[in-house]
Structure 1
Amino acid sequence: MKAQPAGNFVRISVWMVIVLLSLGLIQCRYLAPPQPVEVSLENRVGQIQTSRPQLVAGEQTDVRVGVIRSLDAPDPFEYQWTTTGGLITAGQNSCCVTYQAPEVPGNYQVNLTVRYENQFVQRSLTLVVMAPASTPVPTPTPGPTATLVVTTAPTLDAPLSTANEYFQRAQTRYLERDYERTIADYTKAIEYNYEPLSEAFYNRGYVYYVQQNYSEAIEDFTKALEHNYDPPSLVHYNRGNAHYYKGDNEQAIEDYTKAIELGHEPLSWLYNNRGLAYRKIGAYDQAIADYTKAIELEHQPLNWPYYNRANAHADKEAYPQAITDYSQALQIDPTSVDAYYGRGVVYRKLGDVNRAIADFQKVLELGANYWRREAQTQLQELGVAVPESSTE
């Protein structure tokens, strides 16, 4: 029997390897790719933050919002900042702005609408503006009541000996935005039985809230209430927000209702937020009633409850009322792409094609790429030619 030449054996081996690899590649091709995980806009946009929640009249501070986005691509979000007093002096249309306090002392809100594709979220922050004085009067704020100048708090990681030292260092670290160490120090202050213990629980809960760790925030806010935090309305308001962002709308409604009963200010924000939660569960009549109350209380910015009420009317197919509210929102803010698009959709449902076209064309003029694409689709379905440049 003849021996097979070595060259033939090598060639056969090579072909076997190629065949096996090909089979493996074919099998790999049939593996379904993993499904992309949708992350809602609510979970991609954090809470508004500032390094100085208390200001003297005329002073400036940075105000910012954290967002989850790709670092190697342009920012896909639209930002619209407003304030009930003072000025946004720099950074409009970005995630970070400079706020200048007004000359009149008081509590002022910085408001933000973040838009992405067909979604939007609203955020707010209360800043305390004080008159120049040697000893500023402390005023409760939605965030930890941090002292602006702390001279006694150690800043090293060395173990401390008292609850007060841990609490003070946590305050300092909060202003430095070192949230993990802030939480660690508040935890130590709690272990050392800081007094009042309710304040340590509330402050730690608020840091969790800023980090969007809503379950932990809710737990700490609950502990703060159990330890008689004053004012309790503030805790109910923020716990309601945490429930809302978690999607626990029934619990959010309970907390917003309690905060309303306790007279938390601004009441207009509570009614608007409770209206959002009611709409989430399909309770449109209750949502409309709350938005109406927010309007009566002159919610700032006022276009928000009008726009929200318009959406609830549209959900109910009460189209004339929806158009009235969208129009009122646009009278207050003529750049609201959401309101133009929503009104255009309602006009189209009513068969008022000319007005629908006018609103969709306004979206092409003002909107970001997503809104322009949506408006282009609507216009094309209505038989209106749209230049390609309108969606670039």
Structure 2
Amino acid sequence: MAIPPGVVGHKPNQVCKLHKSIYGLKQASRQWYHKLSSTLFSLGYIQSQHDHSLFTKSASHHFTALLIYVDDLILAGTNSSEIDFVKHHLHNLFRIKDLGPLKKFLGLEIARNSKGITLCQRKYALDILSDTGFLSSKPTVTPMVRTTRLYQGDGEPHPDPASYRRLVGRLLYLTNIRPDLSFAVQQLTQFMASPTTTQHQALTRILRYIKSSPGQGLFYPSSSKLILKAFSDSDWATCLDTRKSISGFCVFLGDSLISWKSKKQQTVARSSSEAEYRALASTSCELQWITYLMQSLQIVYTSPALLYCDNTSACHIANNNVFHERTKHIEIDCHVVRERLLQHLFHLLPISSSEQYADILTKPLDPTPFHYLLSKMGVINIYSPV
């Protein structure tokens, strides 16, 4: 370890001899990553330029992928001998603990059978309910009431804002495999500085919704087709404080939901068409990244993706290369949609609002459309009775 800044009296080229674990030191994570990555490079692995935590190795008859999160690793491949060799080599260097076939990873619970793979966070969700005293609460059918509109200063200041922040932070991690919670949690994150009792009441409704299905998660069928399709949507000027719009998109690989986002736009849109067009720009960038990631995984994908939008004007703006009064105020970075469209990265197709899957990521819905769209996104609960 290099000498920390501020230490006086040391000679050039001296280093620190550690008497305890390096965990907690500023240099620890960098040194660990350097040691691990250099070891993988020596074994012939290549680091993905589109996701630096992904290392791959391709040979004539096998392919191996290794995904890293700090000191937790997932190893997958088509050749068991190569996997055993990598594990043995890493064990000699780092004394790793082999947990066998993937069942748990960073709070995710993985179950598999011949039909596919299911991801959920049931234990994590139950821990949240237990810590907050909502295990015996009355469940609700949706995370938010359709008429809910949260804004700054709505209600009395919450007496314990720190507990509000901690709980919202825990719910953020739960959205990793719960797209049904993404919009509701995104709304609550806007009031972390000074939450009110009204916003805390909305937070408790999310907990009661989790109580109704703590084991809900995503299902990835084994028979899914290799077709990329995305749904893009926005809700215009719904933020009562800033009048900014909410963007939402979800990306499917066949019938498997692999990416989604619910986020407030950075600038105010002058029309619903502009808001939809900005949402399309975010979705097209996500499709581009997923295409690059598939190349790193040696997946040959040449067909253009299918991008669905329910706003006719936004589709016309994407297809029309003439600037006019309705588009000259739109920032240039939004026209990445037109650029990717001309490169045949995707086909832009219309869709009815009732079949717009991303609608669940932009606004609160009534129970019937909410659960209909949720069923289309591959969200299931393997713990529910048949």
Q: TM-score when scaled to structure 2?
A: 0.27
Higher relative contact order (CA 8 A, sep 6+): 2
Q: Of the two, which has the highest radius of gyration?
A: 1
Higher helix fraction: Structure 1 or Structure 2?
1
Higher strand fraction: Structure 1 or Structure 2?
2
Q: TM-score when scaled to structure 1?
A: 0.27
